[in-house]
Structure 1
Amino acid sequence: MSIRPCSPFPVPCSRRAQHGFSLLEVLGALALMALLLLGVYSGVRTATRSVRSGSIAVERLDQLRSAQQFMRQELTQIAAVPQGRDQNGDSIYFTGDAQSMRFVAPLPGYLGKLGPQLQEWKLVSNDKGGSRLEVRFALLPPDGSNPKPLGEPEVLMDDVREGHFSYRTPDLPDQPGTWQATWPDPRLLPRVVRVELKLDGLHDWPRLDAPLRIDPTAGQQMDLLRGLRRQPVTR
């Protein structure tokens, strides 16, 4: 059996059968691969940003709803329990201005096992050009001594661009109550407490109007009863 040469030229058959890529073809393939990888990276980065933005928006909305629910529940359950006394010996039940307020109310759930607590809500600077709404809690000792703070303040709402509190006085027989930026009489309770905030971001703060369930004059009535009990009985 004779072997037939593959070519009349003196070039080995194995070298003729090999075929490689030119430098331009390799560079073109690398450039195309780089464009594909860049497109994939851009898509992944955009998707990651979208997921992150969505998560932040959901967390912000949850914070807003939780803050509104907590604040409405606590304001409507304000108790006619004195938080202290003024220089005349009169009981102080509620103090408030445009940036802060103090009152006594029971906490919900297992947190309320300690009894009614003194709460202070306050708008403070967040060191970012805005404010945050904080709440502080303190126990009221039964012996009438000074309230005992409970831990650090809790943040109810952060990234507040501006905000204020206002208070509606009780209605009179001849005229309705009016809104006040500062509560005028700490011996009485307001009829309604309003919380207005402007937040940074896409979500708006729905104006919160919380009517108190207790009679605004309950504090004075309790003081009057205490005074009557202290009076000696004469025969």
Structure 2
Amino acid sequence: MSRRAQQGFTLMEILLATLLLAAGLAVGFATLRAATAMVHRGEVTAARNERIRAVQGFLRSHLASAQVIAYALDDQNGVASRFSGTPTQMRFVADIPDYLGRGGPYLHEVEAVDDGTRLQVGLVMVQAGQTIAEPGTPRPPELLADQLKSVRFRYRGLAEDGNGLGDWQDGWSQVETLPVQVSIDIEAADGTRWPDMVVTLAQGSGASHEVTP
């Protein structure tokens, strides 16, 4: 046996090996943390995208199927309200499936609240051109999305001369008719913009004209 083997490792060699081991462990833990953070960010992004798709799917399907059904009647001039809209709120009637309630036509009040940081929808049953209270506790508004920076609705109808579509409007005051298209622009609190969304209403027939929101 050599003299080197009999003496064993020197203190310097042990310290160097310990330092190398510590450095390797630090790199390993850093890599693990980075991988974990990446997976978490991926899960958050996937959940956010799924939420966006769900909200846009709900709005698209219900707006597209909006009906020319009155939800209110002005006693003074006899004007029936079927659709109204501002940059942050719109009201229209569409059917909801039985599993979401009692089914049938419901007034949808889609509104940006809390300075545009939350988007919600209220549902109220409609019968004979009027909203009616359901038995029991009133249905609270459903939260569609939160942690938002801004929400903007715009509306477009037929051109006044009947030739194609008119310009986009920030409000819809022709409450007796439905717009032809609705644009929904949403920006998240972190600055991420939701995909552009323009919905064509199957029963929209109103004409565009300048309105004051």
TM range, normalised to the smaller chain?
0.7 to 0.9
Corresponding residue number in structure 1 for 2:19 = 31
Among the aligned pairs, what percent are the same residue?
30
* Equivalent residue runs for 1:1-235 within 5 Å: 21-88=9-76, 89-108=78-97, 110-111=99-100, 114-125=103-114, 131-140=117-126, 144=130, 146-148=132-134, 149-155=138-144, 157-173=145-161, 176-200=165-189, 204-216=193-205
- C-alpha RMSD over aligned residues: 2.9
Number of residue pairs matched?
197
Alpha-carbon distance in 2 for matches of 1:181, 1:32:
66
Alpha-carbon distance in 2 for matches of 1:153, 1:169:
28
Higher Cα radius of gyration: 1
The structure with the largest helix share of the pair is 1
TM-score, structure 2 length as denominator?
Answer: 0.77
Instruction: Report the CA distance between 1:101 and its aligned residue.
Output: 0.7
Alpha-carbon distance in 2 for matches of 1:119, 1:174:
29
**Gaps spanning 5+ residues in structure 1: where?**
1-16, 218-235
Change (3 A) 1:142 1:164: same
Instruction: Report the CA distance between 1:70 and its aligned residue.
Output: 1.7
Change (3 A) 1:150 1:161: same
Alpha-carbon distance in 1 for matches of 2:169, 2:129:
33
Asked if structure 2 preserves the Cα contact closer than 8 Å seen for 1:95 and 1:102, the reply is yes
**Gaps spanning 5+ residues in structure 2: where?**
207-213
What's the secondary structure of 1:136's corresponding residue? Answer: strand
Change (3 A) 1:92 1:139: same
Alpha-carbon distance in 2 for matches of 1:203, 1:109:
35
What's the secondary structure of 2:96's corresponding residue? Answer: coil
